[in-house]
Structure 1
Amino acid sequence: MTVTLDRLRVGSAPDSWGVWFPDDPQQVPWQRFLDEVAASGYEWIELGPYGYLPVDPARLADEVGRRGLRVSAGTVFTALHRGPAVWEETWAHVRRVAELTRAMGAEHVVVIPSFWRDDRTAREIEPPELTAGQWRHLASGMERLGRELRDGYGLDIVVHPHADTHIDTEEHVGRFLDATDPDLVGLCLDTGHYAYCGGDSVKLIETYGERIGYLHLKQVDPEVLADVRAHGTPFGPAVRQGVMCEPPRGVPALEPVLAAAQKLGVDMFAIVEQDMYPCPPEQPMPIAVRTRRYLRGCGA
């Protein structure tokens, strides 16, 4: 029997159209993304990398509104483990995203920690493990970010564990959550990234459910993932290898994840993402249509 997932608001994001950067000739134009995401049956979208969609609030509101779309969140990348010295530069970027996010009526900012491997070249740019001092900087910096966005913009931050960042595995996610104030810092659970890094999404929801304020729905191909792990392949090349796949072909199974999120009893966005940068321009929409149909079959 299909469970009714009436607390989950399903959407998609530029990432599902192969968009990783504000401007890149390998990416589809933003107009095509908006046209196709609406035609695929989604109502909610994320802003994606700042500058990909128009940053003028009036123009963006018109563009999304006339397609029947609404914005669920903005996204920022941060390197707060580097300490107070990076705060001003970080805040300058976050503030622009926050202003546009609030203007679009959204209430969340998805915060992605900086990569320790370059996402274009795969070159290692920092050690993969943080020192105790860097963990303290990361926790206090995220709390400050959460407080500033809550008090200044009425927005909640949801931190996104991500492959090739310092918040990735079950151990690191638990350490981060235990070190941060629940009133200031929530979690965006990306089911694909968490599986990529060896985590169990259902277990995380059942253990830290009160911290999870947002979902990214994604699956990984277990055979490709095994090869990625065997060869130590960085995340960018792994995506080009096809490590992220169309549901329900991969792991984790999404039905138990959705059911566990529904049991939390709170309204929550569940935004579909399928990393596939770069990809042919005709590839994303058929996948998006099939994925939306699949999620409806799950009750969402």
Structure 2
Amino acid sequence: MSTIRWGYAINQWKPQFDDFVRREQHERALKTISIAGFEGVELNAGTGRWEPLGNPQQLAANFGDVAGFRQFLASCAIDAVSSWAWDPAERSMEHLTGPLSPLVEGDLATIVERAGEYAAALAELGGSVLLVRPAPGAGDVDPLDDAAIDRLAACWNAVGRATADHGIRTALHVDFLSALRREDALEQLLDRTDPELVGLALDTGELAAAGIDPVTAIRQHAGRLWHVQLKDALAVDDAEEYLQPHAHWTVRVRGGEREVPRWFAEPGAEGGLVDTPEVVRTLMDIGYSGWVVVESDQSPHPAASVLLAGYLVQRELRPVLERNS
């Protein structure tokens, strides 16, 4: 039987590194998420004093310990941290390490250790999934050959074992700039990873921006689907600008040659390309159980976005689930 829990991603509240750092800002955001009808929150990994919610060490520095942050969540009527999204390529001030790559064998032990730290905290926070960026952007590495995909598989299998020790699943989150978007690289990686240790975090907006139908992808990967991020896409990278170097800045942030003002929005936004009710019906069809985390991704009006998303969930998506249960 399909059981879906609804969460919301908090990343949209932090458009700049020095925004969203005060306790009262976190409290307002979490209470808004709660009153909109979401029971969990997804955190985004980060480092340094500008990221109080970015990693277990910062949680301890700002809330006493991880348990103290769990109490803070409860005071805002949030039941759990559903998941944590982590890109090992982000440097860590707490550990004094630079970017790590799953393609570099020498980085594997550190990546596994860091994933274990996140998983231990997630377990204490009532979560279930560590989302990882499984490969660099396509424009920043050579096309992935067999040896490269083998290195990726070895890394994420090892991470999967480490997080499983804490009861936490590891799920690959593929964004529209990923090197895994090329040819059948993602399929090859899934084939070479242990299905008991490594699953897929499907992001509807990222897929739509890459020109991939999320509904088709859900059906295709039903057996490996461990997490869903639900957001809308407002544009498609049909010119394959994802192949440009540093596309995170030139394409995702600055909008590419078309100067796309915003790639993503909350589900149901005007001009959105994702059929959100059909996504939910398809999740029911495949018997998906787990978190569906709604996301807006750098909304200019984060509180309005979460309330609009909550309205959509309460008025349209929950009835879809009830009709199909």
TM-score norm. by structure 1 comes to 0.83
Of 139-148 and 230-239, the range deviating more from structure 2: 230-239
Of 238-247 and 139-148, the range deviating more from structure 2: 238-247
Question: Contact 1:77–1:114 (CA<8 Å) still a contact in 2?
Answer: no
Of 135-144 and 51-60, the range deviating more from structure 2: 51-60
1:40 to 36, 43, 67: 36
The alpha-carbon distance between structure 1 residues 289 and 227, as it changes in their structure 2 partners (threshold 3 A), is farther
- Following superposition, the deviation at residue 231 of structure 1 comes to 11
- Following superposition, the deviation at residue 157 of structure 1 comes to 0.8
Q: In the TM superposition, what are the counterparts of 1:113-124 in structure 2 within 5 Å?
A: 113-116=134-137
Question: Contact 2:233–2:273 (CA<8 Å) still a contact in 1?
Answer: yes
**Amino acid in structure 1 at the alignment position of 2:253:** G
Instruction: Tell me the alpha carbon deviations over residues 39-82 of structure 1, each in whole angstroms, 9 at most, x when there is no partner.
Output: 33321111222453234212111110111112111222135542
Q: Distance in 1 between matches of 2:126 and 2:108?
A: 26
Instruction: Tell me the alpha carbon deviations over residues 151-177 of structure 1, each in whole angstroms, 9 at most, x when there is no partner.
Output: x21111111111222233673332222
Cα RMSD after superposing both structures: 2.8
The alpha-carbon distance between structure 1 residues 66 and 14, as it changes in their structure 2 partners (threshold 3 A), is same
Is 2:231 the partner of 1:218?
Answer: yes
Counting aligned pairs with the same residue, the percent is 22
1:58 to 59, 67, 75: 67
**Amino acid in structure 2 at the alignment position of 1:295:** V
The alpha-carbon distance between structure 1 residues 293 and 177, as it changes in their structure 2 partners (threshold 3 A), is same
- Following superposition, the deviation at residue 11 of structure 1 comes to 1.1
Structure 1 unaligned residues grouped into runs of 5+: 118-123
Q: Distance in 2 between matches of 1:144 and 1:245?
A: 34
Question: Contact 2:172–2:199 (CA<8 Å) still a contact in 1?
Answer: yes
**Amino acid in structure 1 at the alignment position of 2:84:** G
Q: Distance in 2 between matches of 1:94 and 1:168?
A: 24
Please state whether the residue corresponding to 1:167 is helix, strand or coil.
helix
Question: Contact 1:98–1:109 (CA<8 Å) still a contact in 2?
Answer: yes
Greater RCO, 1 or 2 (C-alpha within 8 Å, sep 6+): 1
1:83 — aligned with what? 104
Instruction: Tell me the alpha carbon deviations over residues 1-24 of structure 1, each in whole angstroms, 9 at most, x when there is no partner.
Output: xxxx9622111011232468xxx2
Q: Distance in 2 between matches of 1:230 and 1:143?
A: 27
Question: Contact 2:133–2:172 (CA<8 Å) still a contact in 1?
Answer: yes
Q: Distance in 2 between matches of 1:82 and 1:228?
A: 23
Question: Contact 2:2–2:288 (CA<8 Å) still a contact in 1?
Answer: no
Q: Distance in 1 between matches of 2:135 and 2:34?
A: 31
Question: Contact 1:168–1:194 (CA<8 Å) still a contact in 2?
Answer: no
2:81 — aligned with what? 71
2:127 to 93, 99, 106: 106
Q: In the TM superposition, what are the counterparts of 1:1-300 in structure 2 within 5 Å?
A: 7-18=3-14, 24-27=17-20, 29-50=25-46, 51-53=51-53, 54-55=59-60, 56-69=65-78, 70-78=80-88, 80-116=101-137, 126-127=140-141, 129-150=143-164, 152-168=165-181, 171-222=184-235, 225=237, 233-238=250-255, 241-248=261-268, 249=270, 250-276=272-298, 280=300, 283-300=301-318
TM-score norm. by structure 2 comes to 0.77
The alpha-carbon distance between structure 1 residues 103 and 240, as it changes in their structure 2 partners (threshold 3 A), is farther
- Following superposition, the deviation at residue 34 of structure 1 comes to 1.9
Q: Distance in 2 between matches of 1:128 and 1:226?
A: 21
Q: Distance in 2 between matches of 1:13 and 1:234?
A: 22
Structure 2 unaligned residues grouped into runs of 5+: 54-58, 89-99, 245-249, 319-325
Q: Distance in 1 between matches of 2:10 and 2:183?
A: 27
The alpha-carbon distance between structure 1 residues 19 and 142, as it changes in their structure 2 partners (threshold 3 A), is farther
Q: Distance in 2 between matches of 1:231 and 1:158?
A: 24
The alpha-carbon distance between structure 1 residues 240 and 42, as it changes in their structure 2 partners (threshold 3 A), is farther
Question: Contact 1:111–1:159 (CA<8 Å) still a contact in 2?
Answer: yes
